[in-house]
């Protein structure tokens, strides 16, 4: 079922069929919906995406950190096929089904901490983030929400307010939801601070400008995703979590991008033993089907009244079947360990490139990035990031950029990619640096 695990280009990219489809896209799809590569997919699996012209591309994006188990993982395909034949939907709020309950049990078991937990299921990352805020507000009776510089939490009205970057996420789309406050985070490459120092600055700002007595929740990505794969210095997350606990503030980890083995731990919070009060998950949870969740302390999750949480499609049975199969794949195939091997492989390859325009190499597991700068400085070089990405795209390697300044290239392969494909993809990246001024 999975395509041949080899890069193979049979046309220029984009090929004629993709060009034709792009023309139809332009005529039919709203311009606000962007495209990283003008290449249309026909099939995908393992570390390969096959386009409509028959080109085999190496996938270093996983559809933005979603297909951790691959885009046609055998267990997921089988579980979805079986479920779709049984029934597609009843609405869990009308006549419930066991897949939803089983996903909640799995989340309660796998997420950090061994306290009593409950979960609720939704459709997208942004929707789950919004619900985490609702739950924290209901529990604390407070309004304010704290987020961080470079944060990304989604594109709905509340999550736009929580997201840091204006263009393209917020520009022209206001007014935004009130009572969202932004604190400085920890960005070791730029701020040179220890985790404790950076946390002290953030906490001081929150105490002075918001007040713990007004603050319902602190929402943080343990490694920031869209903002540039920014990994806080050791100690930053534990210090914030401890302050939240001491101050009656709900500590919410947005693990939408970092969750489910992506970072070489089941969840990124695990590495420092941070136990969030609420954890938000999506993306890698369901092998490509739309599903998201909020999981947390039973007493906090119990705060909203019956009927206060939910939605027509939240925890759709097909998505739940996919999630159970994706989780089984992660656990039974050792994908947490695999993520660590992938990190080692990528780090080795990038260190060999040895280009002084790579200012920082960072990330964990299968969530690695390079920040491109003017040599010897921390000054962003977004043009280089764009040119290197374009070079890779033209040679059949899917890479994504990110970062507040657009100068970060991120690598998020499916964890089922072969070593050979990774090796080849990073050879192409090395070439890109040689060929790009
Ligand atoms: N939070 C984080 C950390 C994310 O990376 C994303 C998506 N990139 C979201 C929330 C929003 O998820 P979705 O696009 O599924 O709404």
Atom nearest to 155 CA in ligand 1? 16
Q: What pLDDT does residue 182 have?
A: 98
Nearest to 428 by CA among 402, 401, 389: 389
**Cβ neighbour number for residue 106 with a 10 Å cutoff:** 21
Q: What pLDDT does residue 89 have?
A: 98
Q: What pLDDT does residue 437 have?
A: 84
Nearest to 292 by CA among 262, 315, 311: 315
Task: Give residue 133 CA to ligand 1 midpoint distance, Å.
Answer: 15
**Rounded Cα–Cα distance for residues 62 and 97 (Å):** 29
Contact call for residues 149 and 120 (beta carbons, < 8 A): no
Contact call for residues 239 and 195 (beta carbons, < 8 A): yes
Taking 50 as the pLDDT cut, the residues of the chain under it are none
Largest CA distance in the chain: 62
Any idea which fold 16-72+334-435 has?
3.90.1150
Is the beta carbon of 153 within 6 A of some atom in ligand 1?
Answer: yes
Q: What pLDDT does residue 1 have?
A: 62
**Rounded Cα–Cα distance for residues 370 and 385 (Å):** 9
**Rounded Cα–Cα distance for residues 437 and 434 (Å):** 8
Any idea which fold 75-332 has?
3.40.640
Residue for token pair 């010897």: 376
Is the beta carbon of 124 within 6 A of some atom in ligand 1?
Answer: yes
User: Phi, psi at residue 178, to the nearest 5°?
Assistant: -80, 175
Is the beta carbon of 255 within 6 A of some atom in ligand 1?
Answer: no
Q: Look at the chain and count its residues.
A: 437
The ranges assigned to domains in the chain are: 16-72+334-435, 75-332
Contact call for residues 222 and 253 (beta carbons, < 8 A): yes
Atom nearest to 154 CA in ligand 1? 11
Is the beta carbon of 68 within 6 A of some atom in ligand 1?
Answer: no
Is the beta carbon of 165 within 6 A of some atom in ligand 1?
Answer: no
Contact call for residues 361 and 339 (beta carbons, < 8 A): no
Q: Which conformational region is residue 273 in: left (phi greater than 0), alpha (psi within -120 to 50 degrees), or beta?
A: left
Is the beta carbon of 236 within 6 A of some atom in ligand 1?
Answer: no
């Amino acid at each position: 079922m999975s395509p041949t695990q080899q890069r193979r280009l049979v046309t220029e990219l984009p090929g004629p069929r993709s060009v034709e489809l792009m023309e139809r896209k332009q005529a039919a799809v709203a311009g606000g919906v962007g495209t990283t590569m003008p290449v249309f997919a026909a099939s995908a699996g393992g570390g390969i995406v096959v386009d409509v012209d028959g080109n085999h591309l190496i996938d270093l994006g996983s559809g933005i950190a979603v297909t951790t188990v691959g885009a046609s993982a055998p267990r997921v395909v089988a579980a979805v096929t079986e479920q779709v034949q049984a029934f597609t939907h009843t609405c869990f709020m009308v006549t419930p089904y066991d897949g939803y309950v089983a996903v909640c049990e799995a989340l309660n078991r796998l997420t950090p901490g061994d306290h009593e937990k409950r979960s609720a299921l939704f459709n997208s990352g942004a929707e789950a983030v919004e619900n985490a805020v609702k739950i924290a507000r209901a529990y604390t009776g407070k309004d304010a929400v704290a987020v961080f510089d470079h944060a990304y939490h989604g594109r709905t009205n509340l999550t736009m307010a929580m997201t840091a970057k204006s263009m393209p996420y917020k520009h022209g789309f206001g007014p935004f939801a009130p009572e969202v406050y932004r604190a400085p985070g920890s960005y070791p490459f730029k701020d040179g601070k220890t985790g404790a120092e950076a946390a002290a600055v953030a906490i001081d700002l929150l105490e002075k400008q918001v007040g713990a007595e007004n603050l319902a929740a602190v929402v943080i990505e343990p490694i920031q995703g869209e903002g540039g794969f920014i990994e806080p210095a050791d100690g930053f997350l534990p210090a914030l979590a401890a302050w939240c606990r001491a101050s009656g503030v709900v500590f919410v980890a947005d693990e939408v991008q970092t969750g489910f083995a992506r970072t070489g731990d089941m969840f990124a919070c695990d590495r420092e033993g941070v136990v969030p009060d609420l954890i938000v998950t999506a993306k890698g949870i369901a092998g490509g089907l739309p599903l998201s969740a909020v999981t947390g302390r039973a007493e906090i999750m119990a705060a909203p009244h019956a009927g206060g949480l939910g939605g027509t499609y939240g925890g759709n049975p097909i998505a739940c079947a996919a999630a159970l199969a994706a989780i089984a794949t992660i656990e039974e195939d050792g994908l947490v360990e695999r993520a660590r091997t992938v990190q080692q492989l990528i780090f080795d390859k990038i260190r060999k490139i040895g280009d002084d325009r790579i200012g920082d190499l960072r990330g964990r597991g299968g969530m690695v990035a390079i920040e491109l700068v003017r040599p010897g400085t921390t000054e962003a070089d977004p043009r280089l990031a764009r040119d290197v990405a374009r070079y890779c795209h033209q040679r059949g390697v899917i890479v994504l950029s990110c970062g507040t300044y657009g100068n970060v290239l991120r690598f998020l392969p499916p964890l089922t990619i072969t070593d050979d494909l990774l090796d080849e993809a990073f050879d192409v990246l090395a070439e890109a640096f040689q060929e790009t001024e």
